[in-house]
Structure 1
Amino acid sequence: MTTKERLKLKDLKLGYLREYFSPLFNLFKPKKKISNIADLKDFIHKKSAWITQMTLYGYLKTRMGAKYILMFENEIFLKSVEKAKWNIYMVAIQDLTLFALSYLKSAQIFNATENANEIFKEILDAEGENKLPLDIRQKAESDFTERLSKINWLTHHYSLPFNDSALALYHWSPIADELKTLDRNIVLNSMILKWDNIEKEFKELINF
C-alpha cells in the first residue's frame, strides 16, 4: 500500500469514528424550535443524518459482535459502509422531507409542498460537492421527483411515510444476504421505532 493510499484509509477511518460517535453527543444538544423554512431544512438535514448513523452503525455492530473493530482495518469494507451510508441517507432525507411537508399541509400549519423539490435539493447542497458522490445525488434527485409525482400530500404523513428508508437500510447494509434475511423484521422495526421518536419530536418543535 502506498503512502497516499494509507493516508486515504486513515481519513476514512477517522471520518467513520466521528460519524459513529456524533449521534451520541447530539442526544444532549438543546432542541431548536422549527419556526421557518431554514429551521425545517436544518431539522431534516440533521435528523436524517442521525437516524442513518444510528441504524446503520448500530446494525453493523450488533451483527459483527467482537469482530466489529476489525472493520477499521478493511478498506474494502469501509468503502462499502460509506456507500451504504450515502444511499440510506438520501432516502432518509426524502422520507423526512415528504413527511414534514405533508404533515404541515394536512394540519393547515404551513404549506410549502410546491417548493418540495427546491427544499430537497438545498438540503443536499449542505453536504457540499466534495462529500456527496455525484452519482448518488443524481439518483436521489431522480427518485425524489418520481415520488413527488405520486404523492398525496394530505394523507402521506400517516401512510407509512418512513417505509422507504427502512427498506434502504435493509437493502444497503453490507451484511451477507443470508444473515440479512434472518434480520429483516428486526432491522425494519428498529428504524421505524427511531423514526417514531423523530416524528414526535418534530410535532413538539413546530412553531410556525
Structure 2
Amino acid sequence: MSNDLNRRIGEWGKPAELWGLVREYIGLGRRRRREPVDNRIRLRQFLETRASFVAQTSLYGYLRTRTGMRYPELFDDDVFVRSINIAKWHIWLACVSDLAVYAGGLLVQRTSASIGEVENLIRELVEEVVTAAGSPADADEEFAAHAERVLGRVAQCDWTQITDDETAFSESPVALVRWAPVIDELKQLDEPIVKNSVRFRWQEIRRDLRRDLDAGAVLSSED
C-alpha cells in the first residue's frame, strides 16, 4: 500500500501520467462503474483516490493554463520540477484533510453514531492514508508538520457543524494558491479563479460520496 501510493503520487506532473490519471478516472468517456462505499476500506480508498485526483488536476491544470504550449518543456527544468514535487504533496494533504472532514460530517448526519465513534474512524483512516504516503523523498521538510496539522484538524473538528456543502473544503483552495510554483504577482491576480476551480472540482466528488456512501455499513464494518 505505502509503496504503491507513494509511487503513484510520485509520478504526478509528467503530461502522460496526468492524462492517464484523468483517463482512468473518467473511463474514456464511458460511465464510471458505481461502487458502494460501504466499509472502512472503501471509504479510505475513496479518500485516497479522490484527494489525489483533485490535487493533481487542480495543480497541473493551473500550471498548464498559465504556461500554455511551454507546459511540457517545464519538466526539463530540475528546479521547477522540484517546486512542483513540493507543491503536489502539500496540496494532496490539504485535499485529504477537506474530504475527510466532509466524509465525517456525512457519517454524523446519516447515523446515530456518537461523535467519538465518527472522530475515531476518520482519524484512523487519515492516519492510514498519511502513513501509506510515508516520508516522500521529493517532499520538503514541512511535509511531516503539515501531515500533523491534518490530523489535528480531524481531532479538533466540531462534527455537528459540518454541512453537506462546500464549507468543509477550505484548505485545498488555499493550498493551491500557496504552493503552486507561479510567481506571486500572477497568483494574486489568479487567486479568485484558482480557488473557485478547486471548489468546482469537488462538486462531483461530493455528489459521488453523497450517492454511494452507506454510512451505517461503514461504521459497523470491521475492515
CA positional deviation for 1:129: 4.7
Give deviations 1:64-116, integer Å, cap 9, x for gaps. Answer: 01211210210110110111000000110011111101111122276532233
The size of the alignment, in residue pairs, is 197
CA positional deviation for 1:145: 3.5
Give deviations 1:146-174, integer Å, cap 9, x for gaps. Answer: 32343210222347111111110111110
CA positional deviation for 1:23: 2.2
2:196 aligned partner: 189
1:73-84 maps to which residues of 2 (within 5 A)?
A: 73-84=76-87
Larger relative contact order, structure 1 or 2 (CA cutoff 8 Å, min sep 6):
2
Q: Percent identity?
A: 25
2:133 aligned partner: 127
Amino acid at match of 1:204: R
Distance change in 2, residues 1:170/1:109 (3 Å): farther
Contact 1:105 1:113 in 2 (8 A): no
Amino acid at match of 2:156: K
1:27 aligned partner: 26
Distance change in 2, residues 1:14/1:171 (3 Å): closer
CA RMSD of aligned residues (A): 2.3
TM-score, normalised to structure 2, is: 0.79
Distance change in 2, residues 1:44/1:186 (3 Å): same
1:107-186 maps to which residues of 2 (within 5 A)?
A: 107-108=110-111, 111-129=117-135, 133=139, 135-157=141-163, 158=165, 160-186=167-193
The 4+ residue runs of structure 1 with deviation greater than 3 A are: 12-15, 128-137
TM-score, normalised to structure 1, is: 0.85
Contact 1:19 1:53 in 2 (8 A): no
Give the gaps of 5 or more residues in structure 2.
Answer: 1-9, 218-223
